[in-house]
A and B are shown apart, each in its own frame.
Chain A
């Protein structure tokens, strides 16, 4: 059973650029959630994907978008990067019908925006 893997692990972008982060979900999981952890804060929910569709969204602007693929892997795209987008981005997969939905997290992608 493979866990959740995320890529890249670290990247540096400049303000105004666009970034794509990738996530492969754990075998048997059909739902992917993305979280942003800024310095000194707990992870904040960005959005969730189920059956290749967005299935709930947190308080993030439309320049944060995502995709889920038929193999349940996912991408997070952020356009027009701002300095405040510097954070650790965590992907988590789960099995939607497993009750209280234990999440399996990846180790995250650390984005620095200069």
Chain B
């Protein structure tokens, strides 16, 4: 059974703090690693899709890195704002088969206090 793990489970920071989360996954048959941002009562929103070892992607104050050999990805948020409060999910897509299913972690819940 493939397991995607995220840490920490939850995080409370002050406005302006920078923060980071970890996503760990088995590196065999790796195809892609997805990050989603999920605000309460809304749809999960895709942040990044990363496929290459050493990939770094950035979207505004949010960035992510990928290490497929050791099986981890980091998500960084610089200068957190209250509107960054959400659950951040990572999901593994493995190579092979006709189905591109995602295996999700349980998420990191971020609360940014003004």
Interface residues of A (CB under 8 A from B): 3-4, 33, 35, 40-45, 48, 55-56, 58, 90, 94, 96, 99-108
Contact = CB atoms under 8 A, between A and B. Distances in A.
- A-B pairs, top 3 by smallest CB distance, nearest first, are A56-B99, A42-B104, A100-B32
Contacts, number: 65
Contacts of B51: 99-100
B42 A107 contact: yes
Interface residues of B, number: 27
Contacts of B91: 42-43
Given A48-B101, A94-B100, A100-B51, A105 B43 contact: yes
B101 A104 contact: no
Interface of B: 4, 31-32, 34, 36, 41-46, 49, 51, 89, 91, 93, 97-107
Contact of A103 (B4, B102, B107): B102
A58 B51 CA distance: 23
A55 B93 contact: no
B38 to A, nearest CB: 8
